């Protein structure tokens, strides 16, 4: 896989996670704290490499990851996995929930500062019929973690429905969550609600 700079990685994650926002060179440069010219060069390079696709909206050209391209799905999955490596404690804590076709997401104040967090926010996206198993695993984990676990347990269909309806809570979670497990499955799900 090609080497990317820190800003390039950050840019791709912003463009992927903020699924209902449109970023052009100017808005992305502000988010990254870099020059507009630097942002434009980065976006054009990614577009040339088929990593991003663009669309003209009004006078502005906006960019999104090209999730129709397998390489980009793998790339975003890798970047999400890499981001999750900064949260190894939580990967270890919730590994009992890791199961094929599941997605485990950590969000909220825990990812900013655990010591100041009131609770631990986690979302589990699972297959139909696994809710009882997920609930039991969370209750078992709650016995050993001192802070309350606030778990949202959704089927993939419920998650997609909420995202398509642009429910604010779900959109905020998508924008900020750390994907502890199921990164590729997550990218494939988000591809179903991506804006263009």
- pLDDT tens-place string over residues 136-173: 999 999 999 999 999 999 999 999 999 999 999 999 99
Share of the chain above pLDDT 70, in %: 98
Question: Which pLDDT score, from 0 to 100, does residue 2 have?
Answer: 65
Asked if residue 33 has pLDDT above 90, the reply is yes
Asked if residue 3 has pLDDT above 90, the reply is no
Per-residue pLDDT, averaged over 23-38, amounts to: 96
27 φ/ψ angles, rounded to the nearest 5 degrees: -65, -35
- pLDDT tens-place string over residues 104-121: 999 999 999 999 999 999
3-state secondary structure 31-47: HHCCCHHHHHHHHHHHH
- Assess contact for 77 and 97: CB atoms under 8 A: no
Could you tell me the CA-to-CA distances from 81 to 86, 95, 149, 185 in Å, in that order?
Answer: 9, 14, 22, 12
CA-CA-CA-CA torsion for 80, 83, 87, 88, nearest 10 degrees?
80
Per-residue pLDDT, averaged over 191-195, amounts to: 81
Question: Which pLDDT score, from 0 to 100, does residue 13 have?
Answer: 97
Question: Which pLDDT score, from 0 to 100, does residue 195 have?
Answer: 61
Share of the chain above pLDDT 90, in %: 94
Q: Which stretch of DSSP H or E encloses residue 143?
A: none
Burial degree of 85 (CB within 10 A; 0-12, 13-18, 19+): exposed
Reported confidence tier of residue 194, pLDDT bands at 50, 70, 90: confident
Per-residue burial over 109-136, b if 16 or more Cβ lie within 10 Å, else e, is ebbeeeeeeeebbbbbbbeeebeeebee
**Ranges of H-type helices in the chain:** 6-17, 25-32, 36-48, 70-84, 88-93, 131-142, 156-164, 168-176, 183-191
Asked if residue 127 has pLDDT above 90, the reply is yes
Question: Which pLDDT score, from 0 to 100, does residue 196 have?
Answer: 66
User: Helix, strand, coil shares of the chain as percentages rounded to 5?
Assistant: 55, 20, 25
Q: State how far the Cα of 186 lies from the Cα of 178, in Å rounded to an integer.
A: 11
- pLDDT tens-place string over residues 39-87: 999 999 999 999 999 999 999 999 999 999 999 999 999 999 999 999 9
What's the Rg (C-alpha) of the chain? 17
In the chain, the domains with their CATH numbers are 6-65 (1.10.10.10), 84-191 (3.30.460.10)
Mean pLDDT (the chain, rounded): 94
């Amino acid at each position: 896989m090609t080497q990317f700079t820190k800003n390039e990685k950050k840019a791709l994650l912003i463009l992927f996670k903020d699924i209902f926002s449109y970023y052009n060179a100017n808005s992305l440069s502000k988010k990254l704290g870099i020059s507009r010219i630097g942002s434009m060069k980065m976006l054009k390079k990614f577009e040339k490499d088929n990593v991003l696709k663009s669309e003209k909206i009004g006078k502005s050209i906006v960019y999104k990851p090209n999730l129709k391209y397998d390489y980009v799905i793998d790339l975003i999955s890798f970047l999400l996995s890499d981001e999750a490596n900064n949260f190894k404690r939580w990967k270890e804590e919730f590994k009992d929930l890791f199961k094929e076709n599941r997605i485990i997401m950590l969000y909220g104040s825990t990812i900013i500062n655990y010591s100041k967090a009131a609770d631990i926010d986690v979302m589990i996206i699972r297959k139909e019929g696994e809710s009882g198993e997920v609930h039991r695993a969370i209750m078992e984990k709650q016995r050993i973690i001192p802070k309350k676990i606030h778990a949202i347990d959704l089927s993939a269909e419920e998650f997609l429905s909420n995202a398509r309806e642009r429910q604010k809570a779900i959109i905020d979670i998508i924008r900020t969550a750390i994907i502890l497990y199921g990164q590729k499955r997550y990218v494939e799900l988000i591809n179903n609600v991506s804006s263009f």
